[in-house]
Structure 1
Amino acid sequence: MSITGSEATTSRKKPAIPDSPAPPRSGADRKWGTFASLKVRNYRLFFGGQIISNIGTWMQRIAQDWLVFELSGYDPVALGVTVALQFVPTLLLSLWAGVLADRLDKRKLLMAIQAGVALQALGLGLLVLSGAAQLWQVYALAFVLGTLSALEVPTRQSFVSEMVGRDQAANAVALNSSIFNLARIVGPAIAGFVIVLVGTGWLFVANAVSTVAVIAGLALMNPAELFRSPAVARAKGQLREGLRYVRSRPDLVIVMVLVFFVSTFGITFFTSLAVVAANVFGTEADGYGMLSTLLAVGTFTGALAAARRGSRGGPTLKLLLVSAAALGAIEFVGAFMPTYLTFGLALVPLGFATITFLNTANALVQTTVSAQMRGRVMGLYVLVLMGGNPVGGPMTGWMAEAFGGRSPFYIGGGVALVAALVCGYLAYRVKRENDSPHLLPAA
């Protein structure tokens, strides 16, 4: 049942968290510790599929970046254009995808989307292997992948709580990040050497095959064991209701604003690493893969630390602000590292701070919103998280071309640090003026 009429008006007057607080951890939860959410069978199936699929995803990501770089004559702007095309659909579809996730069976919706992802990867792989790939085709397929991702991410994010329940959501979010970032260690390392040996084509085909693991895991789940909330019936104004809900929660507004600025300007290094590897340090694809792997060492370590925190208690706004400030400061300092080795080593703490920030933001949103609003709120969250990429991608390429390959790091780091300080001040003001128990915990 959606919030309409007087209910919507009430929520604007008095922001509240409709879901009851998470119950205390049981003895079984403590026994599982860092991996507490894996005691849920449905989540184990999802987790296993994601391990395989995420390695394929990262192999494709490295292969796509390098393919664009080669087809464009090593033009950093072309790389930024690809990123923009891949994330433009997020601007157009994320909010609507959140509404869709609240209305439909998330498991079946994810299966359909993953089938589309497999076809996109297979198509790109066949184009490359046949020698017919052109830059415009890569652009077009990047847009297709972006459209599928715009539908998939809000659905998958809101499905996490549905698999494990609200009390284990923070732990499951962190474990998702741990396997994503473990794949970021393995995938780029494999991709860098495979590209040198046989080119990019087979990496796209491998990703298409790996997607089958996700579809199989979703198909094998027991729907009766999901923690589903009552279905939200189709009605007018549901998207506006979601936006009003967030607007009535100043704590969520601060989180959304901080995520937008940090993700748009600070977390651009996943794209600019290829530019640094090739144009600053003069390495080939294997050098790019190694930088991505060093970054992933930090993100994987940070994800495991977040999983351990998630098994003990909920996320906090204070941790979100501190991790954002640390991300900005480390990125700024790392930009001036003089050698390939020192630059690569600086990526480890940068990865740790980045994944701590992203996991904390995700878990805060998931665990403090109404279950019936979760899809729509996560749709907005994905929009602010990824919607800046159509601006950030080309901006990164332009900065690298105009001011040098290091500039996206020191400019982005500076913006992230300032955003953290400003949002920290705003959070302090809101808490002091409202003294509301409904604000996100600050410590």
Structure 2
Amino acid sequence: MESTPRAAASGFASTWQPLRRGEFRAVFFGVLCMHTATWVNQVGGATLMSTLTPSPLMTALVQTAASVPVVLLGLPAGAIADLVDRRRWMMAIQLGMLVSALLALLFVAFSGLSPLALLLLTGLVGVGLALQSPAAQAVYGEVVPREELPVAMALGSMSFNMSRIVGPALAGAVLGLAGAVGLYATLALFSALVLVSLTRWRSHAERSRVAPERLWSALRGGMRYVRHSPECHRPLLHTFIYMTCGSAAWALLPVLARDAYQLGAQGYGLLLGAFGIGGLGGVFLMPAVRSRLSLPRIVVASTAIFAVVTAVLALAAPLLVTLIALLVGGAVWMIGATLMYAALQDTLPDWVRARGLSIYNLVYFTAMAGGAALWGALTAPAGTRGALGLAALCMAAAAVAFTRWPLHPSTASHTRATTSLYGDDMPLESLAPGADDGPLIVQISYHVRPECTDDFLRAARAVGHSCRRNGALFWRLFREIDTPDLYVERYMLDSWLDHTRHLDRTTATDLAMRDRLKQFLVPGREPVIRHQLAEALPED
């Protein structure tokens, strides 16, 4: 058996493997810059607001203004990113963001800044970031071979959460040195860097063999996939709870720095710098932690430790103690948030990855925005330290809940199946029907051995989830009254073209579920498949 140190070293090596590829490094750098700009915009705006008005609520609303575009535009942006060339989509948006950042810079330099103008500018930058975020999070799989995809996704999630640490620290430093003008100059610089990185790679993703969906259909398909994928639910729930409770530290830290420690923008940058250094340390600690602890234990430990960090902030401990707590908090936040993100990524095939990640963003930013508004509102009756204390209690309760409902890694394979439910590769082009003919009912009959009925029904339940998430509008299993061992599966799709998409999306795991059904059938009785198209009736 391999010793623990060697296992840790092996985990470390495998974690950094994709970074040996030049195209992946370009993607990693560009997406890191893009997400860092997100937090520079959000946290820098909150810091500026704390200097413009003493209201904790207005300071917390900056985070809300930055997050609302993700809530409103995230799902359409994810659908578009799954339908178009993601690289070109990102280049178009980044060009627009560069122009917007330069205009904002001129506005701030020559017209000054009011609290309302700051909220509007923060929201404007947030729109551009929201439109491209799902595409940016999904492109990692386009520049690495399939066997490196899980590690690439983990690095992508690390990049997302590392930016959550580096961005606020950078915002504090820039504001301390150059004020609002420096903030928007930094945003313009990041847009330019992302544009440069986008010219350094080309997509090698496997393309769909059928025509793309329309936008509304793609939106429904993404939400349907997540709804009918039980493996997606727990990472999203853990993320929502973790971010709602943890958002108090992020939203109220500028106010705490000003009121409890009498620190200006540079002092706030010091607190954020401690958090940022801790987060970078978490990046390098993560491989060793993953090699020694299971995913459920890491998530529980991260949540519990961050509860303690939030409690230290609530106590307004001596500055040195607070800085140490923020170092630890940055590390555990990085590790916990990254692994929750990676757990969701593991459940998503490429055809719906951007849409699934847009739903993650919706959950993430809804939790951060709603949490920020909640804890900001609680400062009125409870004070800043009281609101932080309540957040620490909620975080501790979340850690207890995560022990009861642990987060386990996905075991599904999203490799495209080499055969279909028809037994071999069915041509995906339209055959006799027209592509838009429909709705279509697919009917599959099974003769089940009586002693295997319960096992068959349990296996059929998993097949039902698979059909629905791959595009079926309706799925049911029926039993023939006159032939008790005969079960009939029926599912409906919008059109014959949707049927070909449904087949194109079939993964090895989906096919294995159907193969399991055959284990419970009467020997020699194969499933019988029929197709039924809706018939237009003549008018009276």
Which TM bucket (shorter chain)?
A: 0.7 to 0.9
Distance 1:63 1:231, change over 3 A: farther
Distance 1:257 1:55, change over 3 A: closer
Find the counterpart in structure 2 of residue 200 from structure 1. Answer: 180
**Alpha-carbon displacement from aligned partner over 1:274-296 (angstroms, at most 9, x marks no partner):** 11100111111111000000111
**1:36 aligned partner, one-letter code:** Q
Deviates more, 1:134-143 or 1:161-170: 161-170
Find the counterpart in structure 1 of residue 532 from structure 2. Answer: none
How far, CA to CA, are the matches of 1:79 and 1:211 in structure 2?
25
Find the counterpart in structure 1 of residue 129 from structure 2. Answer: 149
Aligned pairs for 1:181-192 (under 5 A) are 183-184=166-167, 187-188=170-171, 190-192=173-175
Find the counterpart in structure 1 of residue 85 from structure 2. Answer: 105
- The Cα of 1:345 is off from its aligned counterpart by 1.5
Find the counterpart in structure 1 of residue 26 from structure 2. Answer: 45
Find the counterpart in structure 2 of residue 176 from structure 1. Answer: 159
* Structure 2 residue corresponding to 1:351, chosen from 285, 310, 330: 330
**2:97 aligned partner, one-letter code:** V
Aligned pairs for 1:85-104 (under 5 A) are 85-104=65-84
1:70 aligns to 2:84 (yes or no): no
TM-score, normalised with respect to structure 2? 0.66
How far, CA to CA, are the matches of 1:373 and 1:170 in structure 2?
15
Find the counterpart in structure 2 of residue 255 from structure 1. Answer: 235
**2:127 aligned partner, one-letter code:** T
**Alpha-carbon displacement from aligned partner over 1:406-436 (angstroms, at most 9, x marks no partner):** 234322222223233224323499x9xx999
Residue identity (%): 22
Find the counterpart in structure 2 of residue 21 from structure 1. Answer: none
1:323 aligns to 2:302 (yes or no): yes
Find the counterpart in structure 2 of residue 342 from structure 1. Answer: 321
Task: Assess if the C-alpha contact under 8 Å between 2:15 and 2:155 holds in 1.
Answer: no
Find the counterpart in structure 2 of residue 332 from structure 1. Answer: 311
- The Cα of 1:315 is off from its aligned counterpart by 8.1
- The Cα of 1:38 is off from its aligned counterpart by 0.9
Distance 1:253 1:59, change over 3 A: closer
* Structure 2 residue corresponding to 1:419, chosen from 370, 389, 398: 398
Distance 1:161 1:187, change over 3 A: same
How far, CA to CA, are the matches of 2:360 and 2:119 in structure 1?
25
**Alpha-carbon displacement from aligned partner over 1:168-221 (angstroms, at most 9, x marks no partner):** 324422552575267348614532430xxx432133113202321111111221
Task: Give SS of 1:281's match.
Answer: coil
For the aligned residues, what is the CA RMSD? 3.3
Aligned pairs for 1:2-401 (under 5 A) are 33-49=14-30, 59-71=40-52, 73-164=53-144, 165=146, 166-173=149-156, 175-177=158-160, 180=163, 183-184=166-167, 187-188=170-171, 190-194=173-177, 198-223=178-203, 225-226=204-205, 233-235=212-214, 237-306=217-286, 316-401=295-380
Task: Give SS of 2:16's match.
Answer: helix
Deviates more, 1:278-287 or 1:228-237: 228-237
- The Cα of 1:62 is off from its aligned counterpart by 4.7
Task: Give SS of 2:262's match.
Answer: coil
**1:35 aligned partner, one-letter code:** W
Distance 1:210 1:307, change over 3 A: farther
Distance 1:359 1:425, change over 3 A: same
Task: Assess if the C-alpha contact under 8 Å between 2:38 and 2:129 holds in 1.
Answer: no
**Alpha-carbon displacement from aligned partner over 1:385-425 (angstroms, at most 9, x marks no partner):** 11133322222322234322223432222222323322432
Find the counterpart in structure 2 of residue 407 from structure 1. Answer: 386
Higher share in helix:
1
Higher share in strand:
2
**1:140 aligned partner, one-letter code:** L
Distance 1:387 1:292, change over 3 A: same
How far, CA to CA, are the matches of 2:361 and 2:274 in structure 1?
26
Unaligned runs of 5+ in 2: 1-9, 411-457, 463-508, 510-540
**1:322 aligned partner, one-letter code:** A
TM-score, normalised with respect to structure 1? 0.80
**Alpha-carbon displacement from aligned partner over 1:342-364 (angstroms, at most 9, x marks no partner):** 11221111111111111001111
**Alpha-carbon displacement from aligned partner over 1:265-320 (angstroms, at most 9, x marks no partner):** 3233222111110011111111100000011111111122335678x799834433
**1:169 aligned partner, one-letter code:** A
Distance 1:365 1:243, change over 3 A: same
Q: Which entry has the higher C-alpha Rg, 1 or 2?
A: 2
- The Cα of 1:103 is off from its aligned counterpart by 0.9
Task: Assess if the C-alpha contact under 8 Å between 1:177 and 1:300 holds in 2.
Answer: no
**Alpha-carbon displacement from aligned partner over 1:131-154 (angstroms, at most 9, x marks no partner):** 432222211122212222222222
Q: Of the two structures, which has the highest relative contact order with CA contacts closer than 8 Å and spacing of 6 or more?
A: 1
Distance 1:52 1:422, change over 3 A: closer
**1:276 aligned partner, one-letter code:** L
Deviates more, 1:235-244 or 1:262-271: 235-244
> Which stretches of structure 1, 4 residues or more, deviate above 4 A after TM superposition?
29-34, 50-62, 226-232, 307-310, 312-315, 434-438
Task: Assess if the C-alpha contact under 8 Å between 1:174 and 1:304 holds in 2.
Answer: no
How far, CA to CA, are the matches of 2:168 and 2:58 in structure 1?
25
Distance 1:30 1:396, change over 3 A: closer
Task: Assess if the C-alpha contact under 8 Å between 1:315 and 1:364 holds in 2.
Answer: no
How far, CA to CA, are the matches of 1:91 and 1:189 in structure 2?
26
Find the counterpart in structure 2 of residue 24 from structure 1. Answer: none
